[in-house]
Structures are given as C-alpha cells and as structure tokens.
C-alpha cells in the first residue's frame, strides 16, 4: 500500500520568506510526527499529533514554526520568516494508535534557505 508521502521533495527559498511543507500519512494512522534533520546530524523531534488530543509542540524550536493537522489526514508544517539555520531535511512519520506502534517515515522535504 501507499506509504507516507511528503511534498515538495525539495524547496529552495530566500531568507525571510514563509514556507509550507506537506505530509500525507498512511491511511488509518492516527499519530503523525514531524522531525528535522540538519546535514550530518541525527533527527530532532519537532511536534506530534495523536488523534483528537492536543498536539505535543514541545520540540518546536521557535514561534516561527507551527503545524496543523486536519482530522487524521494531511498535516502542514509552516515556517515563517525563514532563516538560514532552518535549512534541513524535514521528515514526517505516522503510526497507528498505540504508543509502541511502528513509525513509518516519508522521504522528507529538503529545505534550503539562501
């Protein structure tokens, strides 16, 4: 079946512009996660959504970052007034409704801020 998809695969933007990154989770997955991976580094947790619960935003690095999720489907990560340090691969993962259920990752969006 279809896996997690993300769009765009690559995004180049200028410093100060806003960007929106999209994640389509696996159908039926109630949990959705966003992570960031800077070049040569490990994954950094940003935010997760679980069903109708309030999202855990504890990993968002600043108030320039926000995310929304429509029901149990698409999620959008928005970065306002992008900075060069925002350049990274942004990864989305989804899982079923138990906390130990496997997280399946998408291919990521590579963001480059000039």
Closest CA to 108 of 90, 85, 87: 90
**Exposure of 7 by Cβ count < 10 A (0-12 exposed, 13-18 middle, 19+ buried)?**
middle
Tell me the closest approach of the beta carbon of residue 14 to other proteins, in angstroms. 24
Tell me the backbone φ, ψ of residue 85, rounded to 5 degrees. Answer: -70, -10
Among 19, 21, 33, 67, binds other proteins (CB under 8 A): 33
**Of 10-18, 69-77, 78-86, 101-109: span binding other proteins (CB under 8 A):** 101-109
**Count of residues engaged in binding other proteins, rule: CB under 8 A:** 24
**Residue showing tokens 């968002």:** 60
Question: Would you state the structure tokens that stand for residue 95, as one six-digit string?
Answer: 């899982």
Among 79, 106, 111, 113, binds other proteins (CB under 8 A): 106
Contact residues: other proteins, CB under 8 A:
4, 31, 33, 35, 42-43, 45, 48, 50, 53, 56, 58-59, 91, 93, 99-100, 102-108
């Amino acid at each position: 079946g279809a896996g997690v998809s993300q769009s765009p695969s690559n995004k180049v933007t200028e410093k100060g512009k806003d960007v929106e990154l999209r994640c389509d989770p696996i159908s039926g997955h109630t949990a959705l996660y966003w992570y960031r991976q800077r070049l040569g580094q490990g994954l950094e947790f940003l935010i997760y959504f679980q069903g109708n619960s309030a999202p855990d935003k504890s990993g968002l690095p600043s108030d320039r970052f926000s995310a929304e999720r429509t029901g149990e489907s698409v999620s959008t990560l928005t970065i306002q007034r992008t900075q060069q340090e925002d350049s990274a691969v942004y990864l989305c993962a989804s899982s079923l409704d138990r906390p130990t259920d496997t997280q399946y990752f998408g291919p990521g969006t590579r963001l480059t801020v000039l």
